[in-house]
């Protein structure tokens, strides 16, 4: 089975595909997209660091997330290179409505493992949506260099998605995780549907 087929089976469980017009408007604002993307990679690295600090006693989690921090930071560096070689500037961080709204969906309270599940599912979902968007960019953007760049990142983020989901199912009753995952997917689709389509944001 090809990578595309296995990924479709495993991960494109997103309940609402991205509006296909997004790539067209995004590629007209590529500087904004790259700046927004750079911050996404920073946030991905820092969310893994937070999990390592908070769940320092979970050896498998620490060992698995440590190299992911390095990978996400590597992605940040690569986005910065893309900006530099186009003579574009690294601008300020913008308000990230998508991540803010998803973060508000994290259930408060419960056991420590319930909290871990929530954060792993939040991360998995952001990886899944990013992967979907990278795929759209890799297939449809006119800039060939960026097509290749986004193809490579799509594969990497798909791997992270699988890691987060599988880790959630390892530390918590898998059936409970699957049920909650469906709630997350439904909520994410509602967020996507209600958000304005903008070409200056990765999400």
User: Rule CB under 5 A: which residues touch Fe ion?
Assistant: 41, 44, 72, 75, 127, 157, 160
CB of 111 to Fe ion, least distance (A): 26
Torsion from C-alpha of 27, 32, 33, 38, nearest 10 degrees? 150
CB of 127 to Fe ion, least distance (A): 5
Return the number of the residue (44 or 202) whose C-beta is nearest Fe ion: 44
Find, among 97, 120, 106, 124, the residue nearest to 50 by Cα.
120
- The 8-class DSSP code of residue 172 comes to S
CB of 130 to Fe ion, least distance (A): 7
Return the number of the residue (47 or 172) whose C-beta is nearest Fe ion: 47
Helices 30-54 and 112-140, interaxial angle, to 10°?
160
Return the number of the residue (66 or 193) whose C-beta is nearest Fe ion: 66
Residue that is written with structure tokens 């997004």 in the block: 22
CB of 3 to Fe ion, least distance (A): 16
Residue that is written with structure tokens 């494109």 in the block: 12
Return the number of the residue (127 or 188) whose C-beta is nearest Fe ion: 127
């Amino acid at each position: 089975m090809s990578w595309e087929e296995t990924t479709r089976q495993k991960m494109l469980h997103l309940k609402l595909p991205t509006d296909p017009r997004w790539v067209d408007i995004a590629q007209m604002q590529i500087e904004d997209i790259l700046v927004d993307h750079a911050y996404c990679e920073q946030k991905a690295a820092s969310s893994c660091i937070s999990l390592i600090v908070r769940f320092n006693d979970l050896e498998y989690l620490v060992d698995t997330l440590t190299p992911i921090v390095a990978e996400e930071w590597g992605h940040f560096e690569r986005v910065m290179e893309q900006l530099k070689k186009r003579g574009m500037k690294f601008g300020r961080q913008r308000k990230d409505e998508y991540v803010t709204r998803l973060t508000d969906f994290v259930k408060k309270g419960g056991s420590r493992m319930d909290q871990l599940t929530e954060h792993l599912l939040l991360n998995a979902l952001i990886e899944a949506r990013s992967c979907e968007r990278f795929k759209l960019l890799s297939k449809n953007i006119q800039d060939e260099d960026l097509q290749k760049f986004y193809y490579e990142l799509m594969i990497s983020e798909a791997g992270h998605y699988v890691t987060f989901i599988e880790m959630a199912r390892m530390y918590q009753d898998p059936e409970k995780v699957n049920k909650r995952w469906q709630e997350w997917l439904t909520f994410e689709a509602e967020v996507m549907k209600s958000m304005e389509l903008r070409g200056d944001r990765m999400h």
